[in-house]
Amino acid sequence: MATKKAAASADTPKRSGPQRFPTVARAIEALRPSLPVYALYPKRITKSVKSFMSGFPGTTMYAVKANPAPPLLDLIYKAGLRDFDTASLPEVKLIAERYKDATCHFMAPIRIRGTTGEAYRKYGVRSFAIDDETELKHLDEETGITLASERKQVKVFVRLSTPVDGAFLELSSKFGLDAADGAVLLKKVAALGFTPALTFHVGSLCIRPLAYRQALEFCREAVEMAGVELGGFDVGGGFPAPYPGVPAPPMNDYFKAIRDARKALRLPPKAPLLCEPGRALCAEGISAITQVIRRKEGRIYINDGVYGSFDEMTLPDWNIDYPRRVYMRTGAGKVVEVGGPRRAYRVYGPTCDTLDKMPRPILLPTNLGDEDWIEFGMVGAYSAALRTAFNGFYPDQWVEVQEA
């Protein structure tokens, strides 16, 4: 197995990656960008991935949907992660073709017809989520497996709905079953000869580690009612990123809550534990370098907006502002970071749409002017993933910055 993995690793082509700079100031100085640039901080991404992989008591997948940009995926892969939570066939294809030794887990509970079969046959996917009997029937038909030993190798994760408090974005009203219905579906999975497993999602940006324990209590109920041997627990994503002003406890508190809950609830000790963080692995390591197109007194128009990298700013009750650094040219043609007195500005995106504005005024230097740059930090999650080409703007330039 180790030899096979080593061989597969060698097959995965080396890529040159984005242009590298020691600091953001040097990147701006060299590029003088008038279009947005995503700055990747490899040290931060490596740290997030490695600390998750060493701290979480099981297998860490990366939820590709949070940010599927290849330069980021390459850094996550390079940090050692090999398991990916993929939500669609294009995501499976992206990962399977890019990393020969990666494992894709198809964790969307409803799938476009035909994609389960293609993922199984063409890309070797062996884990799938479901939350109803129809999807189980589709899985059975599309994989068309006849051998009992091969059926057993397919893990079918029944998605539970775990309405617990603590997340900025709930993810339990659209998908998931209560424990009793979950138990019924688990039995059906087992009766068909597949390996039954459980999954849930406590909601994105969950600031309460106890939510995972409460969700695992639902799992225990479902397992007890089903009376089947479980092949795994996937505690989903939802782990926070340390945005300014967000009272998120340290990640170790989450790992401890999950580890302790597993023991205290006497969940089957042999059933592997998995998680599928998106935000926690990619938010901190990416910033968006934007430029002021025009200042009109207390209003500024920048070259990126809610149709580009800042979609999350439009979410109901989203009160997080990304940290900012501002850069200006000096007379010597150098670019420097500036501090000094600040004032509140209304910030608009570059499109003609009135809705394209930041929801709250933000504080920036009083002397901010046309063609200065604003770096918005910690925008790695659900930014590039949700950008559009509305009005012809589509941010897609990437650089690497060696700062810690």
- Sites of contact with ligand PLP (CB under 6 A): 63, 65-66, 85, 107, 171, 201, 204, 236-239, 276-280, 381
> Residue 83 or residue 276: which is nearer to ligand PLP going by CB?
276
> Residue 111 or residue 201: which is nearer to ligand PLP going by CB?
201
Q: 244 phi and psi, to 5 degrees?
A: -60, 135
- Smallest separation (angstroms) from ligand PLP to the CB of 310: 17
- Smallest separation (angstroms) from ligand PLP to the CB of 68: 12
> Residue 142 or residue 276: which is nearer to ligand PLP going by CB?
276
Tokens linked to 112: 């476009």
CA distance 239 to 57: 14
- Smallest separation (angstroms) from ligand PLP to the CB of 221: 21
> Residue 72 or residue 145: which is nearer to ligand PLP going by CB?
72
Instruction: Decide if 328 contacts 351 (C-beta within 8 A).
Output: no
- Smallest separation (angstroms) from ligand PLP to the CB of 373: 28
Instruction: Decide if 252 contacts 210 (C-beta within 8 A).
Output: no
Secondary structure letter of residue 272 according to DSSP: P
> Residue 204 or residue 303: which is nearer to ligand PLP going by CB?
204
> Residue 190 or residue 381: which is nearer to ligand PLP going by CB?
381
Residue 238, SS3 per DSSP = coil
143-147: Cβ within 8 A, 24+ apart: 143/116, 143/117, 144/117
* Residues in Cβ contact with 293 at an 8 Å cutoff, skipping those fewer than 6 apart: 301, 302, 303, 350, 370
Least Cα distance to 233 among 294, 339, 157, 334 occurs for 157
182's enclosing H/E stretch is helix 179-191
Secondary structure letter of residue 294 according to DSSP: E
- Smallest separation (angstroms) from ligand PLP to the CB of 277: 4
Instruction: Decide if 391 contacts 350 (C-beta within 8 A).
Output: yes
Residues listed for the chain: 404
CA distance 8 to 231: 26
- Smallest separation (angstroms) from ligand PLP to the CB of 176: 10
> Residue 87 or residue 374: which is nearer to ligand PLP going by CB?
87
Nearest residue to ligand PLP, scored by beta-carbon proximity: 237
- Smallest separation (angstroms) from ligand PLP to the CB of 385: 10
